[in-house]
Structure formats: C-alpha cells, structure tokens
Amino acid sequence: MAENYDEGAVDKNDAFVERVAARLRTPEHVHPSFEKRVMEKVLAEGTALYPKRSLSGSWWRTERVFRLTPLTGLALAAGIAAVIAVSSVAVGARISARSQGTSRAAASVRADTVQLVRFVFVDPRAERVELVGDFNEWARGSTQLKRSGAPGVWAVSVPLSPGRHEYAFIINGSRWVADPLAVKSSDDFGTESSVIRVGPAGNSAT
C-alpha cells in the first residue's frame, strides 16, 4: 500500500501526543551486568578480529625492496582526467623481499605478498588530499597523497594485500570523494566509497 502524507494532517502542538510522549521519555537503564556480558563475548571474538599491532612492527614498515612497474604515462592519463576534476588510477607492482636467499624468508614472502597500488587523484584546486580505506582502517591523516609532477596531480603508493578493498579520498580535510571511475559501495548511511580488487602477486589491480 502506498503511503502518502498530507502535511497538514499532523497537529504538531498536539497536547495529547506530548503528554503520552513525556511519559515514554523517562530514562531506561540496562541491567548492571550488561557491560560485563557483552564484553565477555567481545573479548572472546576480539583478538581474532582486531589483533594487536604496533606502528613500529607493522608489516608495511618492514624492510623490503620494491620493484615497481614503470608508471610512465600515468601522469598524462591523470592530466586528461583532470577535465572531470577527479580521477584515480591503480596499477600493480610486485613486491619481493630482500632476503630471498633463505627458504624461511621465501615462505614468509609468499604468505605476506602484497602489491603496491598507486592511487592518483587530480584536482588543481586541492590543497590537501588523503586516502582512506579499509586498508588503513579509514583513519584520516594516515595516508596523505603528495603532489606528483603535473599541477594538480596527487599520488601515493600503498601496499595492498590481494582481495577486495574499499577506499575514498578526502579533499582539504573535509570533502569525501569516491572515485568516479571505480565500482561504488555504500555504507549504512549511504556514503559512497570505491572498490578496488587486487589480484594475486604478479597480476595487476583492477
């Protein structure tokens, strides 16, 4: 059944409604054991969901030799995209570990292989561009794009594990921008972000 509404149908100053609502506004409190019960479940699941990490020990801070795919032409592509003010491009590059000589290191490299993905954003009016995504826990200020060659071109390279990632750009600290050329995703509030799929090492990100 369609639900239509006549704006004048509701009396906003309805004293009856106010009297009823006032009674229902009295505060409610959860049982004193509520927090403890929820935290027991949270702690049981938490370690697997959110393992402890420290900045100095982060995997992307470990020493690695990056062998990047040449990015020639990327800036040109971004420059053309500047017509629509916003664009991003992602390319893949293989990362290999410095200590390939030992089998132990090689095994750890296979388990920990990531691809370096380059995000390029074009907006000549931007003063500051950040990249947020599930890979940096949507933390503002953690991944800044830097001016890159041509005016208005901003770029940053981020190591990403294979799989699906969501991301967006934040311009001048406030404006949230999804990549117009990428697949879109929306959160519960309808905020759009973009989706990138990173293939296994050796394959380009798409």
Partner 1 sequence: MKGSSDAELISAVLAGDIEAFSGLIRRYQDTCARFAVRMLGSRVDADDALQSAFMRAFRGLRSCRDPERFGGWLYQIVVNECRTYASRQRRRELRFTPATNAIERAVAPSTEVESESDVSWHIEHALGMLPADQREAFLLKYVEELTYDEMAGITGVSVSALKMRVKRACDGLRDLLEGVYHG
167 Cβ contact list (under 8 Å, min separation 6): 119, 131, 132, 133, 134, 135, 179, 193, 194, 196
Question: Binder to partner 1 among 62, 187, 200, 203 (CB under 8 A)?
Answer: 187
Comparison of 64 and 165: residue with beta carbon closer to partner 1: 165
Cα 14–Cα 15–Cα 17 angle in degrees, nearest 5: 70
Q: Which of 71, 106, 138, 201 binds partner 1 (CB under 8 A)?
A: 138
In the bound complex, what is the minimum distance in angstroms from residue 166's beta carbon to partner 1? 9
Exposed/middle/buried for residue 183 (C-beta within 10 Å: 0-12, 13-18, 19+): middle
Nearest distance in Å: CB 151, partner 1:
30
Q: Tell me which of 63, 101, 188, 202 binds partner 1, using CB under 8 A.
A: 188
**Applying CB under 8 A, which of residues 73, 104, 127, 137 lies at the interface with partner 1?**
137
Spatial distance between the Cα atoms of 117 and 88, rounded to a whole number of angstroms: 11
Binding mask 21-60 for partner 1 (x = CB under 8 A): x-xxxxxxxxx--xx-xxx-xxx-xxx-xxxxx-------
Among residues 162, 102, 154, which one has the least CA distance to residue 124?
Answer: 154
We find the least distance from the C-beta atom of residue 24 to partner 1, in angstroms, to be 5
